[in-house]
Amino acid sequence: MDLHSPIDISIPISSQGVSAWGLPPVTISPVRQGSFVGDVAKGGGVNFNNIHLNPHAHSTHTECVGHISRQKESLNIEVKNFFFMSQLITLKPNQKNKDFVINKRIIQLAFENKNNVEALIIRTSPNNQDKINRNYSNTNPPYFLKEAIDYIVDLKIKHLLIDLPSVDKERDGGKLVAHKSFWKFPKDTRHGCTITELIYAPDTIEDGPYLLNLQFAPFENDASPSRPVLFKLSNLS
């Protein structure tokens, strides 16, 4: 693999970036303490900013089972390995009444190479560049049916990466069926498994196998802003 040619599939965090769940945009502002201002352009000695964001709403983020459990497990403790064999696939959600959904059959048709794959990266079409600054709030984005998640779990996929704000429907009354199915929560919980949401994989990145480096900030929290990076593989048999 060529470690000098990383392929970043994260969305940058900015006040003009992606947002969801009805939250206001990210704010990045200089610290002000008495006469001190953390902005060189305004006379400060350094740029020294506070950043206010919610990982689930404002960034490519990776989450663990702590997202839905009373124990609030920390992603930083749940995940200790950061390199995984992965597969990138592209699929088009099906319309179901007023919704667009991802079902088992769509994944079966798109996902051919299942050997030694720990991470499945799903790019949905249409794949417009406005995914990097789209406001998903109250838009009812596509989501996964339980049968699709169950199939992914049956394939022993430990890490699921998607370019949507959630695997579940935006408004589902708190059921979170897809999240619970992926982690097999609460009866047979799959610890160490993650869901990464709000990635962006441009069409210039080909479907196929990659080495995934799943980077995230070490917050002791259920989720963290993350930076999934792909590396092309060669000489695969």
- Please check whether residue 41 lies inside any domain of the structure: no
Rounded CA-CA distance 17/51 in Å is: 13
> According to the model, what pLDDT value does residue 235 have?
67
Query: 174 lies in which domain range?
Result: 7-11+59-232
Highest mean pLDDT: which range of 3-7, 109-113, 188-192: 188-192
- Please check whether residue 30 lies inside any domain of the structure: no
Rounded CA-CA distance 207/58 in Å is: 26
Confidence of residue 1 (pLDDT cuts 50, 70, 90): confident
Q: Provide Rg for the chain, Cα atoms.
A: 19
> According to the model, what pLDDT value does residue 114 have?
74
> According to the model, what pLDDT value does residue 2 have?
83
> According to the model, what pLDDT value does residue 192 have?
98
Confidence of residue 221 (pLDDT cuts 50, 70, 90): very high
> According to the model, what pLDDT value does residue 213 have?
98
Peptide bond into 165 cis (omega under 30): no
Task: Please list, in sequence order, all residues whose beta carbon lies within 8 angstroms of the beta carbon of residue 148, skipping any fewer than 6 positions away.
Answer: 102, 103, 104, 106, 107, 178
Q: State pLDDT tens for residues 5-16.
A: 999 999 999 999
pLDDT reading at 237 higher than 70? no
- Please check whether residue 87 lies inside any domain of the structure: yes
pLDDT reading at 107 higher than 70? yes
> According to the model, what pLDDT value does residue 227 have?
98
> According to the model, what pLDDT value does residue 236 have?
55
Domain count, the chain: 1
- Please check whether residue 127 lies inside any domain of the structure: yes
Q: What is the mean pLDDT of residues 163-177?
A: 98
Q: State pLDDT tens for residues 16-71.
A: 999 999 999 999 999 999 999 999 999 999 999 999 999 999 999 999 999 999 99
pLDDT reading at 166 higher than 80? yes
- The residue type found at 185 is F
- Please check whether residue 54 lies inside any domain of the structure: no
- Please check whether residue 37 lies inside any domain of the structure: no
- Please check whether residue 111 lies inside any domain of the structure: yes
Instruction: Supply the pTM of this predicted model.
Output: 0.96
> According to the model, what pLDDT value does residue 112 have?
82
Q: What is the mean pLDDT of residues 164-170?
A: 98
- Please check whether residue 203 lies inside any domain of the structure: yes
Contact 161, 199 (CB under 8 A): yes
- 124: domain CATH number? 3.50.30.50
